[in-house]
């Protein structure tokens, strides 16, 4: 019996018989907390919620309702289909309780679904392997971009580390220029000569055909920046 009900001049309140610690709670009680909708013509502020209890003699009815959280030292909230009363501040002996009505337990899970933020796309799978020539070119391009020391081919988009390699590419290896020149000088429909050990440059912007693995290796030096 920590509490006692006082009635005077038609008003009632609840007082602590002895000092009560914060977090002390009572319940469960059968009832609900109803939210009121204020009318446009309402001039005086009032409690936004009302307490509905099935027990007409329940002592919770004697608790005066506070208008703000700062004025209250007690809260009534709904949890697990029941009402609970809990002290939000320590109450000294003889202190009166003032309650704030809550629609749900403070700090409880929200009643609406929370949309999870989209997860950022992760890096490429670690099992994707680059060809040795591609790996070398990737490391060169990373350094070249930092140093801003790159020479791009405007026709096929390949970047070179030196102007010399770019010029060699334009003269001998640029697939776009070779196809343009071949179209301008072609005089017959002679089929393209094929080689038994033909190799294709792995760069999608280049795709040059080399007659052998050794010639492909020489061609790849134009991409990697090594001397030709």
Q: Is the pLDDT of residue 159 over 60?
A: yes
The Cα–Cα gap between 108 and 124 comes to 39
Cis check: omega of the bond before 226, within 30 degrees of 0: no
Residue of higher predicted confidence among 124 and 157: 157
pLDDT at 226: 61
The Cα–Cα gap between 87 and 14 comes to 13
pLDDT by residue (tens digit) across 52-105? 888 888 999 889 888 888 999 999 998 888 999 999 999 999 999 999 988 777
21-43 mean pLDDT: 76
Residue of higher predicted confidence among 14 and 150: 14
The CATH T-level fold of domain 3-36+47-101 is Beta-clip-like (2.170.270)
Residue of higher predicted confidence among 19 and 46: 19
Q: Is the pLDDT of residue 147 over 90?
A: no
**Domain locations in the chain?**
3-36+47-101, 137-183+195-224
The Cα–Cα gap between 155 and 173 comes to 12
Q: What percentage of the chain reaches a pLDDT higher than 70?
A: 61
Q: How confident is the model at residue 195 (pLDDT cuts 50, 70, 90)?
A: low
Alpha carbon separation from 171 to 30, 74, 88 (Å, rounded): 90, 86, 83
5-32 mean pLDDT: 89
Least confident span in 23-32, 40-49, 70-79, 171-180: 40-49
- Is the pTM higher than 0.75? no
pLDDT at 18: 92
Mean pLDDT, all residues of the chain? 73
Please report how many Cα atoms fall inside a 13 Å half-sphere around the Cα of residue 21, on the Cβ side. 2
Q: What percentage of the chain reaches a pLDDT higher than 90?
A: 17
Q: How confident is the model at residue 169 (pLDDT cuts 50, 70, 90)?
A: confident
The Cα–Cα gap between 23 and 90 comes to 8
């Amino acid at each position: 019996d920590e509490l006692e009900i006082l009635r005077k001049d038609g008003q009632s309140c609840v007082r602590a018989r002895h000092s009560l610690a914060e977090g002390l709670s009572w319940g469960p009680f059968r009832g609900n907390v109803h939210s009121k909708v204020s009318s446009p013509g309402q001039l005086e502020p009032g409690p936004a919620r009302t307490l509905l209890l099935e027990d007409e003699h329940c002592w919770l009815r004697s608790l005066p309702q506070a208008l703000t959280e700062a004025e209250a030292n007690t809260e009534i909230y709904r949890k697990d289909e029941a009402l609970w009363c809990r002290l939000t501040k320590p109450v000294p002996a003889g202190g009166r309780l003032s309650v704030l009505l809550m629609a749900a337990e403070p700090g409880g899970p929200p009643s609406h679904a929370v949309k999870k933020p989209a997860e950022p796309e992760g890096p490429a799978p670690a099992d994707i392997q680059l060809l040795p020539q591609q790996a070398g070119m990737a490391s060169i391009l990373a350094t070249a971009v930092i140093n801003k020391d790159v020479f791009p081919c405007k026709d096929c988009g390949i970047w070179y580390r030196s102007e010399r390699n770019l010029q060699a590419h334009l003269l001998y290896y640029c697939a776009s220029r070779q196809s343009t020149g071949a179209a301008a000088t072609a005089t017959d429909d002679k089929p393209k000569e094929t080689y038994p050990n033909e190799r294709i440059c792995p760069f999608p912007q280049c795709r040059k055909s080399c007659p052998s693995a050794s010639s492909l290796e020489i061609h790849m030096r134009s991409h990697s920046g090594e001397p030709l």
